[in-house]
Amino acid sequence: MNIYEALQKYFHFQSFRPGQEEVIHSVLKGKHTMAMLPTGTGKSLCYQLPGYLLQGTVLIVSPLISLMQDQVEQMRMMGEKKVVAINSFLSANERYQILKSLHQYKFIYISPEMLSIPAVLEYCKKVSISLFVIDEAHCISQWGYDFRPDYLRLGEIRKQLGAPTSLALTATATEEVRKDIVQLLELPAVEECIFSVDRPNISMVVHRVQNYEEKIKEMRWLVKKLEKPGIIYFSSKKVCEEMVHILKEDGLLNTAAYHGGMEQEQRMLIQQQFLFDELDIICATSAFGMGINKTNIRFVLHFHMPQSLESYLQEIGRAGRDGSKSIAILLDSPGDIQLPTQLMENELPSDYQIDIYVDNLNQPSASNGLELTDTQKRFLEFYLPSKVPTRQQVEQIKQIRDERLQYKQVKIAQMDKWIKSNMCRRLGILSYFNEAKAAVEVERCCDNCGINLSDYEAHETTETKKVNEPWEVLLQNLLLRK
Q: Do 463 and 353 share a domain, yes or no?
A: no
Q: Do 41 and 121 share a domain, yes or no?
A: yes
Under 8 Å between Cβ of 109 and 60: yes
In one letter, which amino acid is 235?
Answer: S
Helix or strand or coil: residue 227? Answer: coil
Q: Kindly give the residue spans of alpha helices, DSSP state H, lying in 12-129.
A: 20-28, 45-53, 65-77, 92-100, 112-115, 118-125
Kindly provide the residue ranges of all beta strands, DSSP E only, lying in 141-190, ordered along the sequence: 165-170
Under 8 Å between Cβ of 189 and 34: no
Q: Do 146 and 233 share a domain, yes or no?
A: no
10-residue stretch averages of pLDDT, the chain, 482 residues long: 93 91 96 90 92 96 84 90 90 92 96 93 96 93 82 94 96 90 93 93 96 96 96 96 96 93 86 92 87 87 96 93 95 96 91 89 66 87 80 92 94 97 95 84 92 84 38 40 32
Kindly provide the residue ranges of all beta strands, DSSP E only, lying in 163-250, ordered along the sequence: 165-170, 191-194, 202-208, 230-233
Burial of 476 (0-12, 13-18, 19+ CB in 10 A): exposed
Determine the pLDDT at residue 368. 61
Determine the pLDDT at residue 157. 96
- Torsion 471-252-246-67 (CA) sign: negative
Q: Do 319 and 343 share a domain, yes or no?
A: no
CATH number (domain holding residue 296): 3.40.50.300
- Torsion 127-132-138-144 (CA) sign: positive
Q: Do 153 and 123 share a domain, yes or no?
A: yes
Q: Do 125 and 221 share a domain, yes or no?
A: no
Q: Do 343 and 332 share a domain, yes or no?
A: no
Q: Do 173 and 318 share a domain, yes or no?
A: no
Please give the tally of structural domains in the chain: 3
Query: How far is 288 from 297, CA to CA, in rounded Å?
Result: 13
Query: How far is 253 from 279, CA to CA, in rounded Å?
Result: 9
Q: Do 179 and 74 share a domain, yes or no?
A: yes
In the listed set 370, 394, 412, which residue is the last one of a domain according to the structure? 412
Q: Do 28 and 143 share a domain, yes or no?
A: yes
DSSP string spanning 281-329? EEEE-TTS-TT---TT--EEEESS--SSHHHHHHHHTTS-TTSS-EEEE
Q: Do 221 and 325 share a domain, yes or no?
A: yes
Query: Which residues have C-beta within 8 Å of that of residue 192, sequence separation ≥ 6?
Result: 33, 34, 35, 178
Q: Is 392 left (phi over 0), alpha (psi -120 to 50) or beta?
A: alpha
In the listed set 352, 387, 412, which residue is the last one of a domain according to the structure? 412
Helix or strand or coil: residue 60? Answer: strand
List the strands of the sheet with 299-302, edge to edge. 202-208, 326-332, 299-302, 230-233, 281-284, 255-258
Helix or strand or coil: residue 470? Answer: coil
Range of the domain at 54: 3-194
Q: Do 161 and 43 share a domain, yes or no?
A: yes
Taking the model in full, what pTM does it have?
0.87
In the listed set 412, 438, 460, which residue is the last one of a domain according to the structure? 412
